[in-house]
Amino acid sequence: MNQQKSQTYYTRILQKLHLYRRKKRTTLFLTGLFRFWAYEGAFILFLLVLEALFQFPPAVRQALLGVFVLGTLLCLAGTFFAAGRFPWSKSLFSDDRLAGEAGEAFPDIRDQLVDALQIIRNLSQNKENYSPDLAEASLKSVYERIKSKDFQSLVSKRPLFQSVRNFSIVVVFFTFSALLFNRPLMQSVVHFSHPGQSFKEKAIEAIRVTPGDWQCLTGDTLLVAVRIQGKFNRPIEIFWKEQSKKRVQSKILRPDSSQSYHFQLAHLKENLVYSVKAGKEKTRDFTVTVEKRPMVRSLRVELIFPAYTGLPSRILEENQGEITALRGTRVRLKIRANKGLSKAKVVFKHQRPLKLRIRNREAGGAFRVMRDDSYFVRLEDTQGHGNAEPIHYKIAMVTDQPPVVEITQPGQDVDLSEEMILPLQVQAEDDFGFSSAELRYRVHHAVVVTKPDTNFHGFPLILPEAGGTKIQFDFTWRLGNLQMLPGDYVEYFVKILDNDAVAGFKPAVSRTFLARFPSMAEIYRETTSAQDESIQELEELVRESGDLKKEVDKITDEMKRNPEMNWTKKQELKELAEKQQRLAQKAEKLKNKLNEAMDRLQQNNMLSEETIQKYAEVQKLFDEALTPEMKKMLRDLQKALEKMDSKKLDRAGNKFKMNEDNFQKSLERTLNLLKRLRIEQKLDQAKKMAENLRARQKAVNKSLEKASRREKEDLQKLEKKIEEDTQQLKEALKKLQQEMREFPDMQAAKLKPSVDKAQESAENMQKMGQELQADNQQGARQAGSKSEQNLQQLSQMLGKMKQGIVNKQKKEVMKQMARSSSELLRLSEEQEALQRRTRKLSSMSPKFNQMAEKQLSLLNRLNQITKELYRLSQKTFFVTPEIGKAVGKGMGNMRQSLSQMEERNGRGASAHQKSAMGALNEAVLHIQQSMKSLSSASSSVGMEEYLKQLQKMAGRQQGLNQQTLQLSLKMAQQGRLTESQQGRLRRLAAQQRQLAKAMNELQKQYGGHSNVLGNMQEMARQMDEVAKRMALSQLDRETIQRQKKILSRLLDAQRSVRQRDFSKRRKSEAGKNFVARNPGALPVEILQKRDRLREDILRAKKAGYSEDFLNLIQSYYEALYEVKREKK
């Protein structure tokens, strides 16, 4: 009973273990099977890829296949072994092993299950004498514990799932590879299906080349297409050789998407052979036969320009078909082809084709350029083949441009002088030349006496014979026949036509200018207004200069007290220097303004030659005020300010102060002289105005005798205009009378009769107008005659008054100059006596103080004379720089003599006294020369003949310039001069040398007036150089410019006696005011202070002043010491 129960428990335990065994074996088998399939699939795919890539030979394929089979068997055996399918692997699934695994899985069982199984298995023999009941109880106890245990849950399904997943991955990868690389993988399957068979790629079966042998025309394109039958898909190479070349050319071709190869050769010109090579296979040589098309071998174009251009025909370079030509140019074409022609024509874009004449291979024709176009040549040979892609050429029509004309002189609106002559210079330029020129004009009358003429009139101008594309010619227009009256003006321009005979003559006009004939009253009013402004500006300039001088004195005194330079002082000095520079610029502008007024007055002959000469002296005064030393001083001051050098600043400041003082004194003298000169000038102008009014009144009186009723109305208008101008003259005389009151010596009251006479003349003119209006010819004649007489008397009265003023001023100046000369001569005699006494003194002589006192007395008397001469220079130009220089030299030597006496050097003092005596004698000599010049100043200054000769030379130079310019233009057009033209140039050079010789003669005769023209010797030298260049045929721009410069200076000399090129060789220094006194006995202190005096003088020398300035500075310092000594 107990044994049966034990067997039952045992059987149930074994059944439970059997279920566990079966599930475990099944799971392990499936896991191994899926793993086997995954490995097999991956290995198969690997082998197929290797075969697709490398296409192994049979031996390698068989080896790989053997490895595959062996691996498959091993994997399969391992799978069955792991699943316990082999007898020797059943021990892996025995009851005891499974019971042990269960015991390990369930801790409450452990080894009890294994022990129970062993007890039951040994119970039948019971060699150990186990108690059956105890065995049964143990087995029951074990069974009770395991019956609720699920042994099948001990079997893990994770390895199975992993193997299934790996297998799925291999399947998916295999599927995608098969889809993407179907062909190569299938080929690999076939290869492994027949491992002993060789599957090597077969050789190229055939190479098909299109077009093979071919015939074409020149310029065609050969298109080669190659297809290879077989498995070949690598690059191939094509070879070709042209008939005329030895070298074989080649190119690598690669297959396109359709596994075809393509190649082309464009623009075939000659026969060639070609072949194709693929791998080791090569085709035969194919022949391409090229038949030539007709083509232009040579194209020659000849341009025949219109006759009016004067241009020779021109043949373009061979095969140059681009045409650029004037309108109307005839184009002649000549063509030579490469083969015989049957047809040829020129095809245009904008006109009908031109059929060419054919002669075998040549063709020709002609057409005319009338617009912008393009063309090409169409050819056809005897076989009917045409030329391919003919070259297209452009035709650019050049339009003959209209000419350009300009009036270069005067080149602006001008006022006419009494001579009614207007010199014109015309320049014109055109492409090819000119046919005619005309001066067009229209007169505008200020007083319309008849129906106004609004039409332009004209007359032809004679063009230069030389012609050319650039011309310049001079023309003197005499306007006397236009019957212009004061206030009228003429409007004029030049019209010129080119010589375009194809499209028609094209005109060009210059800018329109005005030439006005002003009345004397207008000129007087305008110039007076301008001069009044100049006087006011000069007065303002003098005031500003005075203010600046005070500021300069203030800051220089501060610098002496405190030499340290700070930023504030630097800025003050900088501002003062800038003010000085602005004042100098204002003075320069004022000088130019006076020049312009002078030019206008002189052009209208409203000044006497003496007044002109005085104005020239005013210009010199401006030049003396605006010295180069001043500019250099400003530069030095600026440099010293930049470097902050105290020593240089001290010197520059002192120099600045001295220059500012001189600048102010020069301006003061210029202002005083200019005011006096303006009065003389206005008297000249008033006299000329009176003469002009008298001439106009005389003309009206004369016309009245035979005037009709209508003409009388016109004369009434003219008389009204004369009356208005007379009233203006009267007002001008009143204003002049007020200005003369500033100078008592001019006796302004004497001008009152002239004012009354002008008023009387105006009243008579008014009466004449009234009589004309009343048609009372007799009364009008009497009033007009009386007006004419009054105006004549007025002119005489003004002339006498001007002469009286001049004579009185000359007398006073002569008196003062004589007194100064006498005093200087007396000083010279006393200096000579003192010199003889000083020479005998020994160094120990007690008379040195007495001699020094006498020398100081002479020096102070000389200072007083210098002061008087400076005051006199405010009234006249005859106090020359030479006088001031000689006096300054005498003062300097006197001071040096005093210094030598301080050192008790009798010989040294005597030498300087002797030099001082010589300087005083020299000053006396210069004063006497000025007095001599002054005595003859009332007469003509001797310029008339001089100017006539200059005018004659200017006319000859102008003719030379024009002829030289014409030859220069011819040389530019022709490249060289002809024999006759060279002979003409030699004659012109000889004439230029004659002019230079005449200029030298003029220099010898009028050398004293060289300031009028400048250095006439330099002018003669320039003429000689121009003559040499002309003799060498050097007709370049420089030669023309030199001639123009010579002519310009000659023409300027005619217009103005005062010329812009004043000689700068002499510079005057403004005088100084010194304290003059009777010194009495020489104090001993003067000998004790000589060190301080020398120190001050040395500082002045270091500042860089001229010798004359140093003398004045030394005298100034000595005077300062004298004043200090007096105060003590």
The answer for residues whose C-beta is within 8 angstroms of residue 618's C-beta and 6 or more apart is: 594, 670, 673, 674, 677
Q: Which of 1025, 1061, 1049 is nearest to 953 (CA)?
A: 1049
Which tokens hold the place of 866? 């210098």
Q: How far apart are CA 663 and CA 626, in angstroms?
A: 8
Residue 608: per-residue pLDDT: 52
Domain over 414-518 is classified CATH 1.20.140: no
The strand pairing partners of 216, in sequence order, are 290
- Cβ 409 vs Cβ 961: under 8 Å: no
- Cβ 45 vs Cβ 145: under 8 Å: no
Cα three-residue angle 387-389-394, rounded to 5 degrees: 110
For residue 1001, give Cα distances in angstroms to 485, 786, 946, 951, 1017: 42, 51, 12, 15, 10
Output the CATH code of domain 296-398: 2.60.40.10
Within 10 angstroms of residue 1046's Cβ, the number of other Cβ atoms is 25
| DSSP assignments along 933-984, one per residue | HHHTTTS--S-HHHHHHHHHHHHHHHHHHHHHHHHHHHHHHHSS--HHHHHH
Q: Is the dihedral of CA 781, 782, 783, 789 positive or negative?
A: positive
Residue 1128: per-residue pLDDT: 44
Within 10 angstroms of residue 356's Cβ, the number of other Cβ atoms is 22
CATH architecture of 206-291: Sandwich (2.60)
Q: How far apart are CA 896 and CA 915, in angstroms?
A: 10
Q: DSSP class of residue 428? A: E
Order of strands, sheet of 222-229, starting from the edge strand that comes earlier in the sequence: 206-210, 222-229, 260-265
Residue 938: per-residue pLDDT: 47
Residue ranges of the chain with pLDDT lower than 70? 1-7, 80-96, 103, 110, 112, 115-116, 118-136, 198-203, 447-452, 466, 519-542, 544-581, 583, 585-588, 590-674, 877, 936-949, 1002-1017, 1051-1128
Q: How far apart are CA 1002 and CA 1020, in angstroms?
A: 10
Residue 1075: per-residue pLDDT: 35
Residue 1087: per-residue pLDDT: 35
Residue 881: per-residue pLDDT: 72
For residue 75, give Cα distances in angstroms to 36, 44, 589: 6, 14, 122
| Omega of the bond leading into 410 within 30 degrees of 0 (cis) | yes
